Chain A
Amino acid sequence: MQSDWQPSCSIELLRLRAQLLAEIRGFFSARAVLEVETPLLSYSSGTDPQLDFFTSDYCSYPLQQTLYLQTSPEFAMKRLLAAGSGSIYQICKAFRNGESGRTHNPEFTIIEWYSVDFTLTQLMDEIADLIAVLFKDRYQLETTQRISYQEVFYKNTGLDPLLFNYEQYSAYALKSESPEAIELCKADHNAWLDFIFSHHIQPSMGKNALCMVYGYPACQSSLARINKDNSKVTDRVEIFINGIELGNGYYELTDAQEQNQRFDKEIELRQQSNRPIIVKNTQLIAALEAGLPECSGMAIGIDRLLMVLTKNNHIEDVIPFSLARS
């Protein structure tokens, strides 16, 4: 008899998920942050050089157009911010093609929010508050850690992540028994950072504690603002518990011109790595030109949060129907 009709997680877990969602809504409602909804399907997609998207077709004869499933609600939410929404949050699905594994399902749930007038430090305070609420009476966490990317990288490897030195990085790869990194990463600073961080640093981060890493190297800035005192780093934060990456946040870039240049650069990178061509989101550029308020934004993966809370080892243990059962 076929058994894959059944959910891969327990009914108990569905209850916990529902409670978490209610608590998240309560948290933001108490802070007068507005809940919003934006389209999952849109005419353009993000330009992130490392993300692949799903497409669909809009058919209304004779009209036929490609639509993209969002990899994150960021662009649409920023358009609301520019239109004067004030602080907003959204709980929604995001879709990333080709991502399946122990901590990945191509369709996943995120809580994303933007706090107007918040600096990155204030955002980190807010993240810590939210995590404290969600973990209270469920999971005893140790003191929250805040550490810069440079410091955590240096502590673990002796390398400076802000200054790419091929010889030193290669020597580290040999010493740490990952000689294949030399061939995989070549002279690509970003690839080296991703490799070393995900293999040798992240797994030991945030043992029974929330660990916030801030000040990412400028080459990993994405949509974050470059730090005003140190142009080598960007005002970006990532959070980890028990070695699991839970979320990513920025002190948001508001400069339309710079955003436009980053888009062009990302599109170029996508072309170099033979990823599908995408349409630049000119509506976001227009929104930034109209004026995005100073704000910080954060997205946290709800499924991974549930994994950590329930000490489950696989994302299938916390979602009813992963791709394999969908």
Chain B
Amino acid sequence: MASYSTNEFKAGLKVMLDSDPCAIIENEFVKPGKGQAFNRVKIRNLKTGRVIERTFKSGDSLEAADVVDVAMQYLYNDGDFRHFMVPDTFEQYQCTEKAVSDASKWLKDQDICTVTLWNDSPLSVTPGNFVELAIIETDPGVRGDTSGGGGKPAVLETGAVVRVPLFVQQGEVIKVDTRTGEYISRVKE
């Protein structure tokens, strides 16, 4: 596998650190005028999601990590694994709950999401930025209230709970921003 020198580190680059695949977030060149050059690197462990800071001697290198993001369609949950498919090739992948993690509450059958593969096995799942999901349970709203102030909790078909305006009713489909977990709008069927 190729390797990258600290001089090539830039945001998004995937490298191996302590046997785990990681993504570079930030790389700062630090050098006292008369002293040693270092690279102070902010790096995310793609297995744990944890962000750490690590310093390298300038010119040191790390092995590249075979990490790719692939758009896949979510198929179903068999109880042990969640199954995904690459639409173009029909190639299927199964993901553990650990890899799916927080994405699970946004996953609806047939939705397209991003599966991050490390050495061709799923590392993590990222839902689309916006998903459209039906409300399966919420208190009856007050008619005429369109202010959106206050709001109420609503349970969605995937199990996620989001705050929605009072006028939104059970059975309606809403658009949600998965990055913030916030209600965006109602979706006309």
Residues of B within 8 A of A100 (CB): 7, 29
Identify the closest chain B residue to A103 (Cβ). Answer: B29
* Interface stretch of the complex, out of B50-58, B70-78, B137-145: B50-58
Residues of A within 8 A of B29 (CB): 99-104
* Interface stretch of the complex, out of A112-120, A139-147, A194-202: A194-202
Distance, CA A103 to CA B36, complexed state (A): 15
Task: Determine the interface band of chain B, counting residues with CB < 8 A from chain A.
Answer: 10 to 19
A245 an interface residue at 8 Å Cβ cutoff?
yes
Which of B34, B37, B55 gathers the greatest number of chain A CB atoms within 10 Å? B34
Given contacts A180-B54, A190-B36, contact A199 B31 (CB under 8 A): no
- Name the distance in Å between A196's Cβ and chain B's nearest Cβ: 11
A48 an interface residue at 8 Å Cβ cutoff?
yes
A151-195, CB < 8 A from B: 177-178, 180-181, 184, 190-191, 193-195
A215-232, CB < 8 A from B: 220, 222
Distance, CA A195 to CA B36, complexed state (A): 8
A50 an interface residue at 8 Å Cβ cutoff?
yes
Residues of B within 8 A of A181 (CB): 55
Residues of A within 8 A of B149 (CB): none
Distance, CA A48 to CA B35, complexed state (A): 9
A248 an interface residue at 8 Å Cβ cutoff?
yes
Residues of B within 8 A of A190 (CB): 35-36
Asked if A184 and B31 make an inter-chain contact with CB atoms under 8 angstroms apart, the answer reads no
Asked if B58 and A98 make an inter-chain contact with CB atoms under 8 angstroms apart, the answer reads yes
A238 an interface residue at 8 Å Cβ cutoff?
yes
Give per-residue flags for A34-50: 1 if the beta carbon is below 8 A from chain B beta carbons, else 0: 00000000000000101
Residues of B within 8 A of A99 (CB): 29, 31, 37
Asked if A222 and B36 make an inter-chain contact with CB atoms under 8 angstroms apart, the answer reads no
- Name the distance in Å between B36's Cβ and chain A's nearest Cβ: 4
Distance, CA A198 to CA B30, complexed state (A): 7
Give per-residue flags for A255-274: 1 if the beta carbon is below 8 A from chain B beta carbons, else 0: 00000000000000000000
B40 an interface residue at 8 Å Cβ cutoff?
yes
Asked if B40 and A194 make an inter-chain contact with CB atoms under 8 angstroms apart, the answer reads no
Give per-residue flags for B43-64: 1 if the beta carbon is below 8 A from chain A beta carbons, else 0: 0000000000111111000000
A76-106, CB < 8 A from B: 98-104
Which of B33, B40, B55, B57 gathers the greatest number of chain A CB atoms within 10 Å? B33
Which residue of B7, B30, B34, B38 contacts A48 across the interface (Cβ within 8 Å)? B34
Residues of A within 8 A of B56 (CB): 180, 184
Residues of B within 8 A of A245 (CB): 32-33
B28 an interface residue at 8 Å Cβ cutoff?
yes
Distance, CA A199 to CA B40, complexed state (A): 9
Which of B29, B30, B54 gathers the greatest number of chain A CB atoms within 10 Å? B30
Residues of B within 8 A of A98 (CB): 7, 37, 58
Identify the closest chain A residue to B59 (Cβ). Answer: A98
Asked if A194 and B55 make an inter-chain contact with CB atoms under 8 angstroms apart, the answer reads no
Residues of B within 8 A of A104 (CB): 29, 31
Residues of A within 8 A of B58 (CB): 98
- Name the distance in Å between A78's Cβ and chain B's nearest Cβ: 17
Given contacts A98-B58, A101-B29, contact A198 B38 (CB under 8 A): yes
- Name the distance in Å between B18's Cβ and chain A's nearest Cβ: 11
Distance, CA A220 to CA B55, complexed state (A): 22
Given contacts A101-B28, A102-B29, contact A180 B55 (CB under 8 A): yes
Distance, CA A191 to CA B56, complexed state (A): 12
Asked if B30 and A199 make an inter-chain contact with CB atoms under 8 angstroms apart, the answer reads yes
Give per-residue flags for B155-170: 1 if the beta carbon is below 8 A from chain A beta carbons, else 0: 0000000000000000
Residues of A within 8 A of B31 (CB): 50, 99, 101, 104, 198
- Name the distance in Å between A286's Cβ and chain B's nearest Cβ: 24
Give per-residue flags for B1-30: 1 if the beta carbon is below 8 A from chain A beta carbons, else 0: 000000100000000000000000000111
- Name the distance in Å between A96's Cβ and chain B's nearest Cβ: 9
B99-125, CB < 8 A from A: none
Asked if A248 and B30 make an inter-chain contact with CB atoms under 8 angstroms apart, the answer reads no
Which A residues lie at the B interface, using CB under 8 A?
48, 50, 98-104, 177-178, 180-181, 184, 190-191, 193-195, 197-199, 202, 220, 222, 238, 245, 248
Chain A to chain B contacts (Cβ below 8 Å), 11 pairs = A50-B37, A98-B37, A98-B58, A178-B55, A184-B55, A194-B32, A197-B35, A198-B35, A199-B30, A222-B34, A238-B33
Which B residues lie at the A interface, using CB under 8 A?
7, 28-38, 40, 53-58
7 closest pairs, A vs B, by CB? A101-B29, A194-B35, A194-B36, A198-B30, A248-B33, A198-B32, A222-B34
